[in-house]
Structure 1
Amino acid sequence: MSFKIIDPPTIHESAKTYSHVQATKISPTCTLVTIAGQVGLDKKTGQIPSSVAEQIQVALQNLNECLKAVGATPANLINLTHYVVNLDPNDKSRSDLVVKFLDGHRPPGTLVGVSALAHPSLLYEVQATAIVHSG
């Protein structure tokens, strides 16, 4: 197996401890894509929006940029894990944003309530796995 590390130039820089994307060739025509947790850090502004809804939108845009870097779309996703700070199980507003992003695709996923993420301003993070077939 061979792999390629990708840090899309269209999203914020990754830290020294991780890369945004790893594409691992598992057969001549199949690539497993693992994507680090994407957050609501907007590369254009360098800011983290204050609302969870805005952070979700930016994080999903960043996830989409990671997918595009390997020639994939949300339809290639095979798993999602969502992390929400101070999760209110009764608040379903985030679901509408995710459903719109997935555009009818419904990969398995997990929603995890957490007390904090890597930066005090972060309220949401999404980690993903995808499969890309070629040829």
Structure 2
Amino acid sequence: MITRLSPKKLRAVPEQYQGIYVHGTQISAPKTLVCLSGQIGVSPDGETRVGFEQQCYQAMSNVEALLADVGLSTADILRVIYYVTDAKFLPALSNARQTRWNQGHAPAVTTLVVACLAAPDLLVEIEVTAAR
């Protein structure tokens, strides 16, 4: 069972982020625990998508495919770490999260702006931990 942690002693999550962010998550006796390597905006045919939004949605699709492969879905995500190469991408990332992964049961989230990823044309990487 997944418990979302939002204790009263911490600042309340602003309403616009309640579906995509929670202070923490707890899993009790998981049958399946999956730690995904960072997923990037490269399609199954090896093509790197062009632009932040396309790369972000492709990375999300890659995460969803990996989860589905072990019988999980985005509803089972406990923690997400987003790595972006420029702070100007943060509004687009927030929009992608709201559009694609806002299911009313937010994971724990960390977002980092980094100097670069494994290749210079990569703009976003998404790392996920999921359980059921």
Q: Where on the TM-score scale, by shorter chain, does this alignment land: which range?
A: 0.7 to 0.9
SS in 2 for 1:55: helix
Shift, 1:88, TM fit: 2.7
Looking at structure 1, the residues matched to 83 and 42 of structure 2 have their Cα atoms a distance apart, in angstroms, of: 15
Higher helix share: 2
Residue 63 of structure 1 aligns with which residue? 63
Looking at structure 2, the residues matched to 108 and 99 of structure 1 have their Cα atoms a distance apart, in angstroms, of: 15
Does residue 52 in structure 1 map to residue 61 in structure 2? Answer: no
Residue 95 of structure 2 aligns with which residue? 96
| Cα offsets for 1:70-117 (capped at 9, x unmatched) | 10010000000000002237x412112112222323111000000100
C-alpha RMSD of the superposition: 1.8
Shift, 1:31, TM fit: 1.6
| Cα offsets for 1:32-74 (capped at 9, x unmatched) | 1100000000113x21122011000100000000100110010
- Given that 1:55 and 1:123 are in contact with CA atoms closer than 8 Å, whether structure 2 keeps it comes out as yes
Q: TM-score, normalised by structure 1?
A: 0.71
Residue 85 of structure 1 aligns with which residue? 85
Structure 1 runs (4+) greater than 3 angstroms displaced: none
Amino acid at match of 2:80: L
Looking at structure 2, the residues matched to 99 and 73 of structure 1 have their Cα atoms a distance apart, in angstroms, of: 16
Looking at structure 1, the residues matched to 65 and 50 of structure 2 have their Cα atoms a distance apart, in angstroms, of: 22
| Equivalent residues, number | 104
- Given that 1:74 and 1:101 are in contact with CA atoms closer than 8 Å, whether structure 2 keeps it comes out as no
Q: TM-score, normalised by structure 2?
A: 0.72
- Percent identical pairs in the alignment equals 28
Higher strand share: 1
